[in-house]
Structure 1
Amino acid sequence: MSLTDILELNKAELFEKIRHGLPLVQKTQNLLDCKDDLLFAWDAKDSCLLVRNWRASLTDTEGKHTAAGVQCQTLIPANAVGLEVDRVLASNEGSLVALGGTRGVTILELPRRWGPDGYFKDGKAKITCRTFSLDTQLFQNNPPLEVRQIRWHPHSVTDSTLLVLLNNNTIRVYNHAKLRHVWQVGPSVMRGTSNTSLSDFGEVAVDFDIAPAAKPRNPDQDNTTLADTTANQRNQTLLAAKSVQKQAKIEWPVLVLRENGNIYILLTGLDSAKTRLQGPITITPQARDNYGLESCALMVIPSLPPTVVMAESNGKLHHALLMEAEAAEHSFNEVDDFVLIEPAEYVIHVLETVELELGLKATSTTGAAAGAGSAYNCPIHLKRDLINELRYFAYHNAGLHVVSVSFISELQRYLDSEIEHDRLELTASSRAEYVLCTKFDSSEGINAVLGIALLQMPAGVVLLLGSGQVVSLKLVIDAQLLVTPSEYRKTGLEVDEQESGPSFVDTIKSLLQRSVNQPILADKLASPSAQESYELLNQAIEVLREQYLKRHDLVSAAFARHINQIQLKKEQQLQEIQDLEQERELISERAHKLAERFEEISYNQELLVRKCYNLMKQANAALPNNIVAEREFAKEVTRLNEVTKGLAASLDTAKKSLNKQRYHIAKSQEELKKNTYELPEKQHRTIKEILTQLNSEIDRQVTDVKRINKIVGL
C-alpha cells in the first residue's frame, strides 16, 4: 500500500481508462465527483462517464463479491457530448450529473440502482443514459460565450434546478433541462470592442455561490421601487406586489464575484423571474490594495452569519462575514443603464487574509529561480468539506491546500452560550496546510489537479493529477475542530484558567504550530534535473530545520523545564507527606488516650447517676410530710410486684405440666400404633375371596327371586 494512495486507486480500471484521454494543455479542472458511495470520473477519450462503488471495493479488495465481477461501470450518453468537459458535478440527491465545459453544459440522467452492492442496474457493465444539452443553439450563435460556473440549487425539490453563470453577466436557470429564467447580474457584454473594455475593467462575473435563505426586509417597498422604473412596468409590478402579499416569499441571496473583486448580491426566489440586484457590497475594513484585484473564486460557508471566502490568483484567501447593513447604501452607476441596481442591504466584513504558498520556492540565492518561484500565479478553485464545516479545500495548478477556518467555532460557541456577559473574540487565526505539492521547481511545466472528490465514511480525498497519478488520502480531522470551546470551557473554571495561565498542552501546541509544512511531492512525467533536485533538497532541508527540528528542540527544552518543575514539586510533596505521616501518628496516639479516658469517665458517670437515683428515692420515701396516697400507692406497687412474681412461678409450673402431658400422650399414641393387629396376607386374601363368592351367590339368588315373582304373578 502506497502512502500517497491509501485506496490503491492507481491500479483501478476506472483510472486506467481515463489516463489515455487526459488533456495535453493542462489547467485546473474537476473531472471527479463523489456522491455517497459512488465515484464519478469523466473519460474524455470515449466521451463517457465512469462510475465506481469505492466503498464496496474498499471492503472487498479481492473483487469476489462485486456484481458480475464489475469494478467500474460505463455510462454512455444517449446523445454524443461534443464539448470538452472540464467539470463533473453530481446533483444534491445524486439523480443527475452536470457535465460542464467552457462551451456548454450537458445533463446526464443516472439510472436506478439495485442489487447487493448498489450498482446501477445490478452491475451492468455498460449503460446508455439519457442526456440533455442546454442551449446548444445559443453557444453556436455566440462564439465568445463561455461558461464560468455551474451549481445545483440546494433547495430544489425535484433535485433538477441548475444555475449556469456565463461570461455575459447572466445566470441561466434550468429545471428538468428546460430554461426557466435568465437573471442579469451585471452590464450586458455587447459584441465588438465593448467586450474587451469590460474585461479590462474587470466587470465580468467569474464565480457565484448561494447563501442561506432569508426573508425579504421590505418586499412592498422593493416592489414599489421596481414599479417606478418605467411607466410600462408599473401595472405588472403592482400585480406582482399583490401576489407577494398573498403568500410569504423566501429569497435566496446569490453572491456574484467579479474579476475586479466587487461582489454583488442577487435576491430572488427559487422559481421567480423577478430579481433584485444590489451592490457592489461594501467591504470593510478598507485596504490600500483593495480586495480581490485578481479574484477568481468565491465560496459561501453556511455559518451564522454566513462566511464568505474570496480567492485571488496570487494565492490570497480573504475570510469575511456577510452581515445585514444598518442602512441601505447606494451604489455607483453601472456601465449598462438597463441594469437596475438597488441600495445594498448587506455588508462584508473581512476578518483575516490567508496567503497560500503556490509551489515550493527555491532556496537558491540566484534571483531568477527565486523570483520565478515567488511570482507564480494561477487560478484557485474552492471546494467545501461536507463533513466539517470549519474546513474547505483550495486546489490549483500547484497542488492542494486544506484551510481550517477557526473563527466559525467561536461564532457557534457565542451563539450557544447562555452567559449574559459573554464576549465574542475572533482572535484565532486560520490555518492553511499544504497537503500536496505538484510544482517544486522554477520551470514552466505544471502538474495541475484535474479532479478532486471527497469521500465520506471513512473520510478521504481523491485527487487526479495531470500526470495521470491518483492520490488518495485519509482525512484526519483535528480534535480542535471537533471539540468546540463551549464543551470544555466551564463558567467556574474560566477564572482559574486565567489565574493559572495556559496549560502545558497549549504551550506545546503553540511551539509546534508552524506556518509552513512539508507537503507531499507528486511524481512528474519527466525526471528532474540535477539542479532542480538540488534546489528541492535544499528547500526540504530548510523547511525541516526551521519548521520541524527547531521547533522540536524548543519542545524538548520545554519538556526539560517542565520535568524539572515536576521533580521539584514531587520532592516538596514527598517531604510534606512525611510531615503529615508524623502528625498522623501523633494524632492517632492522642486519639487512643482520649478514647480510654472517655470510657473511664463514662463508666464513673454511670455509677454516680445510679447512686444519685437511689439516694433521691430513699430521701423521698423518708420525708416526714409524705402524703398518705403516695404511701398507699407504694404499698400497692409492692403487693402487685409480689403477686406478679407468684403468677410467673405458677405459669412456669403449668408450662412444665403441659409439656409432661404432651410427652405422655405422644408416647401412648406410639404404643397404640405398635399394638394394632393386622391379618396375614394369605388370610386377608382368603376372606376377600369368600366375600366375593357370597356376593355373587346373593346376586344370583336375588335374580331367581325376581324371576319366581314374575312367574307367580302370571
Structure 2
Amino acid sequence: MSLTDVLELNKTELFAKIRDGLPVVQRTQNLLDCKDDLLFAWDAKDNCLLVRNWRSSLAADVKVKFQTLIPSSLVTLEVDRVLASNEGSLVALSGPRGVIIMELPRRWGPDGYYKDGKPMITCRTFGLDTQLFLNNPHLEVRQVRWHPHSVSDSTLLVLLNNNTIRVYNHSKLRHVWQVGPSVLRSGANNSLCDFGEVAVDFDIAPAAKPRDTEPEIAGKNETTLDKSNKTLMAAKSLPKQERIEWPMVVLRENGNIYILMTGLDSEKTRLQGPITITPQAHDNYGLESCALMIIPSLPPTMVIAESNGKLHHALLMEAEATEHSFNEVDDFVLIEPAEYVVHVLETVELELGIAASGTGEEGNVYHCPIYLKRDLINELRYFAYHNAGLHAVTVSFISELQRYLESESDEDRLELAASSRAEYILCTKFDSSETVNAVFGLALLQIPAGMVLLLGSGQVISLKLVIDAQLLVTPNENKPVGLDVSQQESGPSFVDTIKSLLQRSVNQPILADKLTSPSAQESYELLNQAIEVLREQYLKRHDLVRAAFARHINQIQLKKEQQLQEIQDLEQERELISERAHKLAERFEEISYNQELLVRKCNALMQKANASLPNSVVAEREFSQEVTRLNKVTQSLAAGLESAKKTLNKQRYHIAKSQEDLKKNAYELPEKQHRTITEILTQLTGEIDRQIVDVKRINKIVGV
C-alpha cells in the first residue's frame, strides 16, 4: 500500500480512464465529489460521469467496479466543477459557460450500486439557460451552490459575472436576484470590472428572522408613536406565519461584502452593504479577493480568501443599530441599511509553493486563485486548494465560541486568543517557473474520514484524515427530501457550439506596403504578433473544435454501444418472458384440470361420508329411502316413456306410409268429365236453392 494512496486508486480503471481525458490547461478546478459512499468523477474525454463505491476499496479481496452515467443530452460545455446535491439525487455539472443538471438513478442491490450494478446507465440531463450563454459570449459562471433549505433537493443558486444570482428549481428559472451594479461589456470596455465591483463568490449563512421594519413617516419621529398602537400592531401580526430569511453573503473582487436578505420562494429581496469591516486596516482586507465561505458556527464564521495566499477569519454578527453605507458605484442599486457587521479576528498567510533559494523576494510571490471547501465531519477545519497544492486550516476560536455558549457560569469570559493553524498537506510547485501541477479535483470522504485529490499530471492521492475527538462536532443535517421533475432536456445544438468556438475577437489583417522598408526589429515584432494572433485566434480555436469533435464522436459511440447492449439485453429478456409465459400457461391448465378432479372426488367422498354416518336419525334414513324409491320410479317412468316414444314413432311411420299409398291408389277423372260433372252439380245446386225459396214463400202464404 502506498503512503500517498491508501485506497490504491491510481491502479483503478476509473482513474485510468479519467487520466486519458484530463484538460491540457493547468488551472484549479474540481472534477471530483463525494456523497456518502459514492465517489463521482467527471470523464472529460467521453463527457460522462463515473461513479465508484470508495468504501468497498477498504475491504480485502473485493473487486470494485465503477459505473458510467451517460448524459441523455450531449454535453458541449467544458465542465470544471462537479457538485452533488444535499440528498444525492442530482449532480450539477458546471463550467465557465453554463450549468447542466444530471438526475441520478435509484440504488438497489446488495452492494448499493445504481440499478443493481449496471455498467452503463443513461441519466436524464438538462441545461440551465443555454440560450442565455449563447447570446452573451462574455457571460460566465462564478459559483454554484445547492440551497440547504430546498424541500425537493433541487434548488440551485448560480452566481454569474453580471452580478446576478439565478435561482433554479430542478431546471426551471424561479428568480433572478441582483446583487450589484449591472456589468456591461462591449468590446474592450469592461465597465465596472476594473473597479473590482464584480461578485466573485457567495455563500449562504444560517437562516434568521427578519427584523421588524416600520415605514418612516416624514416629519415625525419614532418616539411619537403611541405604545398602545405598537402593542395592537404586534398582536395583529402574531397569527401570521413566521417568515424566515436566508442571508446570502456576496463577496466582490475589491473585498467589499454585501448581504442579500431573501426567502427561498420570495421575489422581494433586500440588499445591504458594503458591510462594515472592523477593525479597519490601511491596506483593506481583500484587494484580490477570490473566494468566500461561511462556517455555520454561532455567530457564523466567515473566511475570505485572496489570490496572494491570505485568509481572513471573521465573525458575521448583527449590528446594534442599522446604518447606511455609502458607495458611489452602487448609486443606482437600491441598498437598505446594513443589519450586520463583520469583525476580522485573524489573518492566515498560506505559502503558495516552495520557492527556490534566492527567489524569495516580495516581487516574485506566486499568485493564484484559492478555492475553499468545508469539512463536514470537523466543523473547525476547512481546506484550501489551488495551483500549488492543498492546505488544511483549523480555526481554533470556533471551539472557544462553542465552549462559551455551552457554559452556564456567569463569570465565564470569552477569550479568542488562540490562533488558527494551516498545514501544507500537498505541494505541487517547487520552482519559480510558470509550470504548475494544479489540483483538478478534491473529494472529502466520511466514516472513515479521508480525502481524494486528482492532480493535473493524472496522479491520484488518497489520504486518511486524523480527527481529534474533542474537536469533532455533529454536522448540521438540514437536508431536504423529495423531487419534482417536469422540465425540458434540450440543449444547444452541436453546430451552434462549433460556431461559438470558431468566433474570433481579433482577426489577422491584411498588411499594406509601407513607404519605407521596416527595420529588422519591427519586422520581428510584427512577425511575432502575427504568429501570436494566428496561434491564439486560429490554431487554438481549431484545436478546440477538433477536441469538441472528438468528444462528440466518443460520446455518440459510447451511447450507441450502450444502446445496442440494452437492445440485446431487452431481446433476451423478451425471449425469457415468452418462454416463462408459455410454461406458466401449460402449468395453469394442468393445475386447473387436477383441481376439478379433486373437487369431484371430494364431493363424492363427502356424500359417502354423510351417507355412512352411524348417528343418522330415522327421518334422514326414511328420506334417503324415499329418494331411492323415487329414483327407481323415475327410472321406470323414464323407461316407459322411452318405449312409448318408440311406439309413437313407429305408428307415425306406418300412418305416413299408408297415406302415401292411398295417394298413389286414388282414381282421377279426365278433365272433360270432371268439368261436366262440376257443371251438373252447379246446376243442381241452383235448382235446389230455387226450390227452397219457393217452399219458404208457400209456407209464408199458408201461414205455417
Q: Indicate if the aligned counterparts of 1:373 and 1:442 stay in contact, CA closer than 8 A.
A: no
The 1:183/1:244 distance shift into structure 2, 3 A limit, reads farther
Q: How many residues align?
A: 457
User: Which of 395, 400, 408 lines up with 1:410 in the alignment?
Assistant: 400
Report the Cα offset of residue 478 of structure 1. Answer: 3.4
Report the Cα offset of residue 337 of structure 1. Answer: 4.3
1:142 aligns with 2:142: no
Task: Output the CA distance in 2 between the equivalents of 1:58 and 1:47.
Answer: 28
Q: Indicate if the aligned counterparts of 2:7 and 2:57 stay in contact, CA closer than 8 A.
A: no
Report the Cα offset of residue 59 of structure 1. Answer: 1.6
Task: Output the CA distance in 2 between the equivalents of 1:194 and 1:45.
Answer: 34
Match of 1:83 in 2: 77
The 1:223/1:392 distance shift into structure 2, 3 A limit, reads farther
Within 5 A, what are the aligned runs for 1:105-144? 105-144=99-138
Match of 1:151 in 2: 145
Match of 2:162 in 1: 168
Task: Output the CA distance in 1 between the equivalents of 2:90 and 2:214.
Answer: 37
Q: Deviations over 1:452-504 (max 9, x none)?
A: 000011100000000000000000113553499xxxxxxxxxxxxxxxxxxxx
Match of 2:20 in 1: 20
Task: Output the CA distance in 2 between the equivalents of 1:223 and 1:264.
Answer: 27
Report the Cα offset of residue 170 of structure 1. Answer: 0.1
Q: Indicate if the aligned counterparts of 1:170 and 1:182 stay in contact, CA closer than 8 A.
A: yes
Q: Indicate if the aligned counterparts of 1:407 and 1:429 stay in contact, CA closer than 8 A.
A: yes
Unaligned runs of 5+ in 1: 225-241, 485-714
Task: Output the CA distance in 1 between the equivalents of 2:268 and 2:471.
Answer: 41
1:458 aligns with 2:452: no
Match of 1:209 in 2: 203
Match of 1:683 in 2: none
Report the Cα offset of residue 339 of structure 1. Answer: 1.8
Q: Deviations over 1:599-621 (max 9, x none)?
A: xxxxxxxxxxxxxxxxxxxxxxx
Q: Indicate if the aligned counterparts of 1:312 and 1:379 stay in contact, CA closer than 8 A.
A: yes
Q: Which structure's relative contact order is higher, taking Cα pairs within 8 Å and 6+ residues apart?
A: 2
Match of 1:236 in 2: none
Q: Indicate if the aligned counterparts of 2:56 and 2:62 stay in contact, CA closer than 8 A.
A: no
Q: Indicate if the aligned counterparts of 1:372 and 1:442 stay in contact, CA closer than 8 A.
A: no
Match of 1:667 in 2: none
Q: Structure 2 length normalisation: TM-score? A: 0.63
User: Which of 346, 368, 382 lines up with 1:392 in the alignment?
Assistant: 382
Task: Output the CA distance in 2 between the equivalents of 1:208 and 1:113.
Answer: 33
Within 5 A, what are the aligned runs for 1:96-495? 96-192=90-186, 196-221=190-215, 246-362=240-356, 364=357, 366=358, 369-371=359-361, 374-478=364-468, 481-482=471-472
Report the Cα offset of residue 192 of structure 1. Answer: 2.3
Task: Output the CA distance in 1 between the equivalents of 2:44 and 2:182.
Answer: 33
Within 5 A, what are the aligned runs for 1:618-629? none
Match of 2:39 in 1: 39
Report the Cα offset of residue 399 of structure 1. Answer: 0.3
SS of the equivalent of 2:419 reads coil
Q: Deviations over 1:83-106 (max 9, x none)?
A: 000000000000000000000000
Task: Output the CA distance in 1 between the equivalents of 2:295 and 2:66.
Answer: 33
Unaligned runs of 5+ in 2: 219-235, 475-704
Report the Cα offset of residue 370 of structure 1. Answer: 2.9
Amino acid at match of 1:385: D
Within 5 A, what are the aligned runs for 1:487-566? none
Q: Indicate if the aligned counterparts of 1:18 and 1:44 stay in contact, CA closer than 8 A.
A: yes
Report the Cα offset of residue 58 of structure 1. Answer: 2.3
Q: Deviations over 1:408-448 (max 9, x none)?
A: 00000000001111000000000000000000111111000
Task: Output the CA distance in 1 between the equivalents of 2:252 and 2:142.
Answer: 11
SS of the equivalent of 2:201 reads strand
Report the Cα offset of residue 394 of structure 1. Answer: 0.3
| Greater helix proportion | 1
SS of the equivalent of 2:132 reads helix
The 1:223/1:173 distance shift into structure 2, 3 A limit, reads farther
Amino acid at match of 1:436: L
Amino acid at match of 1:33: D
Match of 2:664 in 1: none
Task: Output the CA distance in 1 between the equivalents of 2:83 and 2:217.
Answer: 35
SS of the equivalent of 2:377 reads coil
1:49 aligns with 2:30: no
SS of the equivalent of 2:58 reads helix
Q: Indicate if the aligned counterparts of 2:69 and 2:120 stay in contact, CA closer than 8 A.
A: yes
Amino acid at match of 1:26: Q
SS of the equivalent of 2:190 reads helix
Q: Indicate if the aligned counterparts of 1:360 and 1:373 stay in contact, CA closer than 8 A.
A: no
Report the Cα offset of residue 333 of structure 1. Answer: 3.9
Q: Structure 1 length normalisation: TM-score? A: 0.62
Amino acid at match of 1:264: Y
The 1:483/1:448 distance shift into structure 2, 3 A limit, reads closer
Amino acid at match of 2:296: P
Match of 1:699 in 2: none
Fraction of identical pairs, as percent: 81
Amino acid at match of 1:386: L
Task: Output the CA distance in 1 between the equivalents of 2:215 and 2:51.
Answer: 51
SS of the equivalent of 2:408 reads coil
SS of the equivalent of 1:352 reads strand
Q: Indicate if the aligned counterparts of 1:187 and 1:334 stay in contact, CA closer than 8 A.
A: no
Report the Cα offset of residue 193 of structure 1. Answer: 6.7
SS of the equivalent of 2:355 reads coil
Pairwise CA RMSD: 2.1
Task: Output the CA distance in 1 between the equivalents of 2:217 and 2:452.
Answer: 48
Match of 1:6 in 2: 6
Report the Cα offset of residue 195 of structure 1. Answer: 5.3
Q: Indicate if the aligned counterparts of 1:373 and 1:441 stay in contact, CA closer than 8 A.
A: no
Task: Output the CA distance in 1 between the equivalents of 2:188 and 2:205.
Answer: 32
SS of the equivalent of 1:145 reads coil
Q: Deviations over 1:171-197 (max 9, x none)?
A: 000002100000000001123279523
Q: Indicate if the aligned counterparts of 2:313 and 2:347 stay in contact, CA closer than 8 A.
A: yes
Match of 2:531 in 1: none
The 1:221/1:110 distance shift into structure 2, 3 A limit, reads farther
